[in-house]
Amino acid sequence: MTRINYSTGAPWEPIVGYSRVVQVDNAVYVAGTTGIGPDGQVVAPDDAYAQTIQALRNLERALNLANANLKDVVRTRLYVTDIRQWEAIGRAHGEFFGQYRPVTTMVQVAALIDPAMLIEVEADALLGQGSWRWVEG
């Protein structure tokens, strides 16, 4: 069994003691990813849709560290601070995953690490889905 830890270089990764992405053989696990923009700031503090789009873009970049992509994702978990925003969040998720349709859970949490954050996304992926046979059941 082979394990590879990937870092994005964020200063809090060594402080908290986590990796952005961990790959074990063909399984890829991505830590909670939020709507942080390239400038290090939370995008659109009052817009759950825009934050979800940014979080999913960040998730996609994290997957790429392990040579994975969206089609490899088999599970996502969406932690939201206001479940009443589920439709906007779900619409953004569907724009990224509509054709792959991983199993997904959305739950409301009391708060995220920054009060401006409205969503955090985790993902699990399996490499090699390009050779899988897709069947609707």
pLDDT average per 10 residues of sequence, the chain (137 residues): 91 91 97 95 97 98 96 97 98 96 98 97 88 58
And the tokens for 11? Answer: 């200063």
Q: Torsions phi, psi of 42, nearest 5?
A: -70, 130
pLDDT of res. 9:
86
CATH number of 3-129: 3.30.1330.40
Closest to 116 in 3D by CA, of 28, 56, 22, 50: 50
Other CB atoms within 10 A of residue 76 CB: 22
Dihedral angle sign, alpha carbons of residues 73, 75, 79, 83: positive
pLDDT of res. 131:
56
pLDDT of res. 114:
96
Q: Put residue 54 in one of left, alpha, beta given phi > 0 → left and psi -120 to 50 → alpha.
A: alpha
| pTM recorded for the entire structure | 0.92
Q: CA-CA distance, 65 to 75, in Å (whole number)? A: 18
Q: Which helix (H) or strand (E) holds 49?
A: helix 48-65
